[in-house]
Structure 1
Amino acid sequence: MILQIIKLKSDLPEEELLKRARERETNFKSIPGLLQKYYIKTSKEGEYGGVYVWDSVQSLQSYQESDLAKSIPSAYAINEAPDIEMMDIIFQLRNK
């Protein structure tokens, strides 16, 4: 499994950002190989993000090439390049 953490800065008010995220929820639920996505807000003003859990690198790469992934900057009015980290999950505490 792969853990992907994306942090982005947006000029949108939190209510608008959350509204847009909810409007796109169904699209993310239908992505093959995306096991979970957590929508996050950091302690920094205007910084939000997503924590994704993927079943494989292949699923992540397919998503990265999709129109949905490419639409994120405009959907959330990102004002600078996002910070992206990827890690292999080597052990998980609980199984479902």
Structure 2
Amino acid sequence: MPVILFVRITSGLDAQEFERRLLERRPRFRDVPGLLQKVHGRDNATGDVCGIYFFESEEALDAFRETELARTIPVAYEAVAVRREVYEVLYSLRPDRGPFAGSSHPAA
């Protein structure tokens, strides 16, 4: 079953340095098995940044959590606070598009 990992980070870095580090680490995320897509966003009111990770399965997410790449996220972004949430994919508005296109899961 596809899953979504939502991570919200409060960082001590300024926006420009945070984005530089995101771009520096991006190629390593392309090689994560089972990671279909990753999207970043910023809360303009607080400056907090979120990462939304789309995994093909909970097993792929569990494997990612064990990697050096995952473990270094708080350090790489000088996180003051980190909130992680995991969600099963229940419904996709446009299953023929997006990170779960072609998935065999009926909800994706």
1:8 & 1:92 partners in 2: Cα distance? 26
- Structure 1 unaligned regions, length at least 5: none
After TM superposition, give the deviation of residue 83 of structure 1 in Å. Answer: 1.0
After TM superposition, give the deviation of residue 71 of structure 1 in Å. Answer: 0.8
1:3 & 1:60 partners in 2: Cα distance? 9
- Structure 2 unaligned regions, length at least 5: 98-108
Structure 1 contact 37–53 (Cα < 8 Å) conserved: yes
After TM superposition, give the deviation of residue 44 of structure 1 in Å. Answer: 4.0
Structure 2 residue 63 is matched with structure 1 residue 62 = yes
Larger Rg: 2
Q: Greater RCO between the two (CA within 8 Å, min separation 6)?
A: 1
Structure 2 residue 94 is matched with structure 1 residue 90 = no
Q: Report the TM-score when normalising by structure 2.
A: 0.83
Q: Report the TM-score when normalising by structure 1.
A: 0.92
Structure 1 contact 11–46 (Cα < 8 Å) conserved: no
Q: Percent identity?
A: 29
What is the 5 A alignment of 1:8-87?
8-80=9-81, 82-87=82-87
Q: Aligned residue pairs: how many?
A: 95
